[in-house]
Structure 1
Amino acid sequence: METNFNPTQKKNTNLTDIIVGFSRLFVGILFIFSGFIKANDPTGFGYKLQEYFHVFHLDFLNDYAAWIAVLICGFEIILGAFLLLGIYRKNVAWGLLLLIIFFTFLTFYSAFFEVVTSCGCFGDAIPLTPWQSFIKDLILLAFILIIFKHRLRIKPLIKKGAGRSTIATLVVLISFGIGIYTMYFLPFIDFLPYKEGNNIPELMVLPEGKQGDEYEYVYEIKHKGTGETKKVTDKEYMAGIWEDDNWEVVGEPSSRLIKKGYQIPIPDLLISDVDGNDVTQEIITNPYYNFVVVSTYVDKLSTTDIIALDRINTIVRDLSTDYNLRAVLLTASSAQVANSLNEEMDLVLETFYADAVPLKSMVRSNPGVLLLQNGVVVKKWSKITFPSKEELAEEYLAK
């Protein structure tokens, strides 16, 4: 019996294997990278999820956003790792397909309806616009469809047995463990402008030689005699129209961005006292050690959070008797809520107020603590890692 050898068929088979292999490598690495970046800061990714919850009227999930973020990040890492290892290929192929369809829908919805300005796909490390995220997901979808169609061609790197189960278990534990750890102990890498070593006042102004966003303003003007109306740009208006008494401006000018410029890292930090006075510079440029305790919403503190805040307050009170330092509490809660907490806990911390957005960027913990000196972030702690009086004195204050 003769067997006909078809070199074209073999060539096509090899080409398919190459395409599947590349798709497997590309998707696996990208999913692991994306998962790790977000797992580095699940609290921040949770804030992004809350934006989506609001859009789809799922606000009841807000309190669980960080944990949902941990789960999503963990699944991304697991799917990417299992794909590279070639294990559980059918389940992995289905998981990748369902996840990318879900992400593609979200990014398209965000881009088309302009409801979420950044998808948070790669956290704060690599900000993407909604349309960039959507295009990225379309590319991923194409590669995942290849993987799904040819999933049986994926060859496992580890044979079935105890070894595979052990490695799979380790992958799962590590994937979820990273997010859980960073949620309690702060990110491994801080990509935010309030990271240790940064000078906050310098990041609040436009550096010399840098150009900010450039806008064009459009005026609607009306001729007093004829009643004619027309729209002119600010350049056209200032070129001589403003000198002509026959024309008058109607309403307020509109503006549009014509050139994107340098983005100030900290554009929105405004700290005020209970009377509304701006005390931002007073707080952030203090030449002495300044403990800044951040609690975005003090009325949302759990029992565990209250215990942590009480410990921080006690340590700061003990330190203030021996060292020249200042300690403040920054919150976005109302003065009434803050005063109630102050009376209940006898806080030694001076209470000031700021918007929730910069407070959430300062430290991914509620409460969390920053140690400032001359505007520089010396150290940051979560509610769990804030050290003892003796450790703080030895490491910082006694020097």
Structure 2
Amino acid sequence: MKIVVGISRIFVGVLFIISGFVKLNDPLGFSYKLQEYFSAAVLNIPFLEPYALGIAIMVVIFEVVVGIFLLIGYRPKFTVWSLLLMIIFFTFLTFYAAYFDKVKDCGCFGDAMPMTPWQSFTKDVVLLVLILILFLGVKYIKPVFSKLGTTVVALLGFLASLSFAYYVIMHLPAIDFRAYKIGDNLQQNMELAPDAKRAIIDYEWTYTLNGEEKVLTDGGQGPAEYDEIIGVETKEIQAGDLPKIQDFSIETQDEDLTSYFLEKEKLLMIVAYDLNSAEKKGMAKLKSLSDEALKKGYTVIGMTTSDEATKQKFKAEYQFDFDFYLCDEKVLKTIVRSSPGVVILNKGTVMQKKHWNDIEDLKL
């Protein structure tokens, strides 16, 4: 039992630290996932949506810290009880999301390792078993340092997690796992790789031939002879790969200008998914930045989901000499974890990306 507890302790502790750190690297992204869970379409607790960021920060810090506590043997009973309650909640959440097909990506490992809810549920069941072993064998969890040393390491782990969370919120994720990271080409990420796995779909045709109703299942060709096609149903046998980027666009109300702008050698893109909720201090910095960029030959555009009246209002209020274009809100939140945020592209390749706090660091 002592050996089994020791193995479980290392596995669970390391997994909680990794899972927590990946989300701690991008707490804003995790808060967007929590908002999805809180929405009326999933758990129907929308009153929690405004507090999603605060909840996200507390959850991921606690996830990292409790993993550290387990590895160093700090307060074993408190740690094991915390792990057990967390995994019971997570297991319920992933089962609910999977069974009712409410959420496509659970967000357990952020953008670093997308997992379906069923995959996440399976992972949580394994963790639940291991944590139950720790619960039953808690007496075998001993501190690896002295009492003072264990307390100091535990406190340092908490302070380091809190500091890191503050840093990435005030700047940008330290590690960017998304398809809009520096060095990525958007056009390439919008296309399927040549060796991509294709979807396999069965078509079930119901038809009549010589007055007799028949059913044919094939890959989509349909019956060679028939009197009348009554109906056809499809069933996905194997899901196909998808492009890394699926919904990115740069549009007006009348025109799609995505290809046009992605061919520009010097494109400065200002992203604010909702102009009304964008940070005012950040918006105030954009006038001088955009004016300097225009002088140096950049094409400057804004990206938002706000309506035309709001766009014109902000353009006049801040005296912007550039226009705002439309894009999907989820995409804009994915491009840069800042509102406003700034991205510089060269023929679709991301060259620089900055939080509004770091606009001064942009090199034009």
TM-score, length-scaled by structure 2: 0.93
Deviation at 1:318, TM superposition (A): 2.8
Deviation at 1:259, TM superposition (A): 2.4
Deviation at 1:229, TM superposition (A): 4.8
- 2: CA distance between counterparts of 1:334 and 1:220? 46
User: Is the 1:206–1:212 contact (alpha carbons within 8 Å) kept by the matching residues of 2?
Assistant: no
User: Is the 1:316–1:327 contact (alpha carbons within 8 Å) kept by the matching residues of 2?
Assistant: yes
Query: What residue number does 1:138 align with?
Result: 125
Query: What residue number does 1:392 align with?
Result: 363
1:166-225: CA deviation from partner (whole Å, max 9, x where unpaired): 3222111112222222122111111111110011111112233444323333444356x8
Query: What residue number does 2:10 align with?
Result: 25
Deviation at 1:392, TM superposition (A): 2.2
Deviation at 1:148, TM superposition (A): 1.4
Q: Structure 1 pair 28/345, CA: closer, same or farther in 2 (3 Å)?
A: same
- 1: CA distance between counterparts of 2:186 and 2:221? 39
Residues 96-135 of structure 1 correspond to what in structure 2 (within 5 A)?
A: 96-135=83-122
SS at 2:11's partner residue? helix
Deviation at 1:342, TM superposition (A): 1.8
Deviation at 1:362, TM superposition (A): 0.7
Match of 2:310 among 337, 341, 353: 337
Residues 1:71 and 2:58 are matched in the alignment: yes
- 2: CA distance between counterparts of 1:214 and 1:85? 49
Query: What residue number does 1:320 align with?
Result: 294
Higher CA-based Rg: 1
Query: What residue number does 1:247 align with?
Result: 228
- 2: CA distance between counterparts of 1:18 and 1:234? 54
Match of 1:350 among 294, 319, 323: 323
Residues 167-178 of structure 1 correspond to what in structure 2 (within 5 A)?
A: 167-178=153-164
Residues 1-399 of structure 1 correspond to what in structure 2 (within 5 A)?
A: 16-54=1-39, 55-161=42-148, 163-221=149-207, 226=211, 229-233=213-217, 235=219, 237-241=221-225, 244=226, 246-248=227-229, 250=231, 253-273=232-252, 275-287=253-265, 289-301=266-278, 305-321=279-295, 323-387=296-360, 392-393=363-364
Deviation at 1:261, TM superposition (A): 2.7
Deviation at 1:64, TM superposition (A): 2.4
1:287-337: CA deviation from partner (whole Å, max 9, x where unpaired): 2x1111111111222xxx12212202322213322x111111111122222
The one-letter code sitting in structure 1 at the alignment partner of 2:16 is F
SS at 1:380's partner residue? strand
SS at 2:114's partner residue? coil
Deviation at 1:237, TM superposition (A): 4.8
Q: Structure 1 pair 211/384, CA: closer, same or farther in 2 (3 Å)?
A: same
SS at 1:56's partner residue? coil
Q: Which runs of 5+ in 1 are unaligned?
A: 1-15, 394-399
Deviation at 1:239, TM superposition (A): 5.0
- 1: CA distance between counterparts of 2:33 and 2:214? 42
- 1: CA distance between counterparts of 2:214 and 2:170? 58
The one-letter code sitting in structure 2 at the alignment partner of 1:264 is P
Q: Structure 1 pair 222/47, CA: closer, same or farther in 2 (3 Å)?
A: farther
Q: Which runs of 5+ in 2 are unaligned?
A: none
- 2: CA distance between counterparts of 1:236 and 1:167? 62
SS at 2:363's partner residue? helix
User: Is the 1:71–1:176 contact (alpha carbons within 8 Å) kept by the matching residues of 2?
Assistant: no
User: Is the 1:290–1:372 contact (alpha carbons within 8 Å) kept by the matching residues of 2?
Assistant: yes
- 1: CA distance between counterparts of 2:325 and 2:220? 46
- 2: CA distance between counterparts of 1:143 and 1:366? 41
User: Is the 2:143–2:150 contact (alpha carbons within 8 Å) kept by the matching residues of 1?
Assistant: no
Query: What residue number does 1:12 align with?
Result: none
TM-score, length-scaled by structure 1: 0.85
The percentage of aligned residue pairs carrying the same residue is: 36
User: Is the 1:286–1:374 contact (alpha carbons within 8 Å) kept by the matching residues of 2?
Assistant: yes
- 2: CA distance between counterparts of 1:254 and 1:369? 46
Deviation at 1:231, TM superposition (A): 4.4
User: Is the 1:201–1:285 contact (alpha carbons within 8 Å) kept by the matching residues of 2?
Assistant: no
